[in-house]
Amino acid sequence: MLVAFIWGTNFVIIRYGLDELQPFTLAALRFGFVAVPLVFILPRPKTSWVNLASYGLLIGCGQFGLLFWAMQANISPGLASLIIQMQVFFTILLAVAMFAETIRLGQILALGVCFIGLILIVVNIDAQTTLTGVVVVLIAAASWAGGNLVVKRVGSVDILAFLAWSSLFSVPPLAALAWYWEGSDAVVHSIMNTSWRGWAVVLWQSIGNTLIGYGLWNFLLARYSSAVVTPWALLVPVFGMSASALVLSEPMPWWKLLAAALICAGLVLNMLSLSGRIPSAEK
């Protein structure tokens, strides 16, 4: 619940950051402050360089680089918080295929209900959202799912050290994208002229959202099955859409509310399935 609250409300904070910093610059700064100074304090976690690089690229570039880019002008914060939860479907299905995790009949029903809610977003694209934005956020969701599977493969390690050392592989490609996409002059100008609020956003991205949020998330993923943990992220858009409506005055028409209600219903079905009240099925 804490992770869902941190991640959900973070979409509003990201929106404030993008008012002052370009998307790839914001992402590079975020992971740069995660890596430094922690890599000089924490020893490298007991895992391979391949795992560190894979996680850094998938989460740093694939998830947040693309998410920030989409949120700059192609999707509203509330809808971004909802669509990114397609990672639940990607994670569970990939875990079934790659790690032979079981999936229950109730979980299949739950994912189906949630999928209907997400479909409502696609068919009701409004002026604040483009099809490009939806597609890019879906790619970001798939990257998040890939990062989840890397965590499953790594197993039990020092989570803070893992986040810090993997961030070393996020910064160079994000910086390169910022230089290529945004231009070196624009990057330097935005960094030099960012207000205290912009830097507060960067620090919260590094400390609150990454070290606390992903630290707790990866701690859970390393100890429980993906099907148990990932559906809780479906609460993220509930917090995200609520915060966006309250703080940014994002419109909340009936279809957005129905989509959020369907996602909550899917989460309840998933929990009932895991408690044994809905029978299991073979993969």
Please confirm whether the linkage preceding 37 is cis (ω < 30° from 0): yes
Tell me what pLDDT residue 283 has: 41
Please tell me the number of Cα atoms within 13 Å of 91 on its side-chain side.
29
**For residue 263, pLDDT beyond 80:** no
- Residues 8 and 13: their CA atoms lie apart, in Å, by 10
Measure Cα distances from 169 to 56, 61, 158, 201 in Å.
5, 9, 18, 21
pTM: 0.85
DSSP string, 158-197: -HHHHHHHHHTTTHHHHHHHIIIII-HHHHHHHHHT--HH
Tell me what pLDDT residue 196 has: 94
**For residue 278, pLDDT beyond 80:** no
Tell me what pLDDT residue 34 has: 92
Higher pLDDT, 126 or 47: 47
**For residue 282, pLDDT beyond 70:** no
Nearest partner of 55 among 155, 160, 143, 159, judged by Cα = 143
**89-125 pLDDT per residue, tens:** 788 788 888 777 777 788 888 888 888 887 887 788 7
Averaged confidence pLDDT in the chain? 87
Instruction: Name the least confident of 14-18, 53-57, 238-242, 263-267.
Output: 263-267
Identity of the highest mean pLDDT range in 123-127, 186-190, 242-246, 261-265 = 242-246
Tell me what pLDDT residue 127 has: 66
